[in-house]
Structure 1
């Protein structure tokens, strides 16, 4: 066995990857998990199309990648902009072989007195935006017998109080992917869902600034409250894309929770009945606003302005 330099080892790994010289789209790639995933995919030899509405951030990430890449500004809730993005990507990098629908936003707070425009925006970005992303790039995936990976969450089957819009959107996108998978499988297109728990992004760090969200996470079992490094999760998702998996669970034990998902709502209800009155007695519950840097950026997007006006 020979001792390879780190560069030679990375080169050999990229050469061996089925992603080498393939075009992969990642939405919401300006920061956090999307940016980490773009770097991990590029390290495997993929050409990257970074899509989102933070042009400066997208271009900064693209500049760090070792393979051909393009940054395309588009709000995932804007169908026309996404179809324009698909044409740009096709012209610059060739037909798309894989899409990772990662763009998403979140906010917390009580449903009764929350801003319904913000509630609708969360659902629009996370659910409708994911569907529009799939629709824009599906012609490419049909041509390449490609793969679509949807970034979902434990929230798809483990709904939490104070996160009604986010949980509704993630449950909806899970059902959408199941339907899409059955619809396109005979064309050779694979569809996967990534069920993630806590990932170390600015969205999660921002959520921990709010007592009720921080306390609710603290009352989860120890393994369920652990926050995983973003690069670790990106590496797992890159292998998922390479293997065209139907589902991936991060951490892996979430698969067992998925099997017993019917037992989750009573558990959440029991904890909520005990903890929410205690927390509310200390401080009245208020809406958090959109969480993290991505949430702040979304406030200034054209789609957000439309939602607010509506």
Structure 2
């Protein structure tokens, strides 16, 4: 029996936000490979269509900004009309920006929060009636940043801490309705967002001073396979790489460690060159600037 034939996702509708590139595209492919029917939401309709064309099964493409509540409701209605009620929703859309908080662009900083946190919550809101009807599963893509904040990434870290708290709260609210809620904690993924971050000396060096396992970059397709396997099993927590689960019991110790490292490294880096703001990272950030004027949703 093939993996698709025995997967609980077989024939099930799975919504993936931020699906035009990177991890989102890899998640859509993994869902389809296991027999699911992905609904690809995001910016860049041409890229979404290209991702859908490479899938080993049917899919729906819908261009939408997840921070636009009416447009997101329209997207949810189209998914229901064309595919049926979703059994799972993967809230993957996200963006990042780097640099000192004091010199950050307020609109771009706010956009990170709006896309990553508010957009995820709005995604849950519009699809929650479907997940209730199907006893489905909401999967929130989070990060090591949810467990331990890093300097020069204040908006991203705040947003990822927020989505973790949101998912925990939502899980407690909907468990009696047989709706599951999971959190996928990821480290550095080999996507355009990370490649763009590495073009900025300060972010590159800060990552370079992390312990070797923590600075390693992981392939998006490998991460997607592990995440979708966790989705099939309705796990409340998934970790890529697996060692991230060891951080959970010691996460309270991370801020002093980060503070000590930052006190040593940031002055040294600042002596060499100014600590500049990066703007929104990744090609997805560029796409959203064209579409919405500030941020980016498909850059992971």
> How many angstroms apart in 2 are the aligned matches of 1:67 and 1:90?
18
**What SS does the corresponding residue of 2:87 show, helix, strand or coil?**
strand
Report the counterpart of residue 190 of structure 2 in structure 1. 200
Q: How does 1:145-294 map to 2 (within 5 A)?
A: 145-294=135-284
Is 1:130 aligned with 2:120?
yes
TM-score after normalising by structure 1: 0.94
Q: Are the equivalent residues in 2 in contact too, given 1:25–1:98 (CA < 8 A)?
A: yes
> How many angstroms apart in 1 are the aligned matches of 2:10 and 2:228?
12
Deviation at residue 256 of structure 1 after TM alignment: 1.2
Report the counterpart of residue 3 of structure 1 in structure 2. none
> How many angstroms apart in 2 are the aligned matches of 1:263 and 1:166?
20
Deviation at residue 197 of structure 1 after TM alignment: 0.5
Q: Which has the larger radius of gyration?
A: 1
> How many angstroms apart in 2 are the aligned matches of 1:86 and 1:267?
43
Deviation at residue 304 of structure 1 after TM alignment: 3.5
Q: Are the equivalent residues in 2 in contact too, given 1:29–1:50 (CA < 8 A)?
A: yes
Deviation at residue 258 of structure 1 after TM alignment: 1.3
- Stretch moving more, 272-281 or 295-304: 295-304
Q: How does 1:5-16 map to 2 (within 5 A)?
A: 12-16=2-6
**What SS does the corresponding residue of 2:202 show, helix, strand or coil?**
helix
Aligned length: 295
Deviation at residue 302 of structure 1 after TM alignment: 2.9
Runs of 5+ unmatched residues, structure 2 = 296-300
> How many angstroms apart in 2 are the aligned matches of 1:73 and 1:231?
23
Is 1:87 aligned with 2:88?
no
Question: What whole-Å deviation, never above 9, does each CA across 1:195-239 have from its counterpart, x for those lacking one?
Answer: 101110010011001011000001101111110111110110110
Deviation at residue 134 of structure 1 after TM alignment: 0.5
Match of 1:143 among 133, 149, 154: 133
> How many angstroms apart in 2 are the aligned matches of 1:114 and 1:225?
25
> How many angstroms apart in 1 are the aligned matches of 2:253 and 2:281?
29
TM-score after normalising by structure 2: 0.97
Report the counterpart of residue 102 of structure 1 in structure 2. 92
> How many angstroms apart in 2 are the aligned matches of 1:292 and 1:303?
15
Question: What whole-Å deviation, never above 9, does each CA across 1:47-87 have from its counterpart, x for those lacking one?
Answer: 01000121111111111112221100110101111110011
> How many angstroms apart in 1 are the aligned matches of 2:224 and 2:239?
12
CA RMSD of aligned residues (A): 1.0
Runs of 5+ unmatched residues, structure 1 = 1-8, 306-310
**What SS does the corresponding residue of 1:20 show, helix, strand or coil?**
coil
Question: What whole-Å deviation, never above 9, does each CA across 1:234-287 have from its counterpart, x for those lacking one?
Answer: 110110110111001111111111111000000000000000000000000111
> How many angstroms apart in 2 are the aligned matches of 1:212 and 1:249?
27
Report the counterpart of residue 117 of structure 1 in structure 2. 107
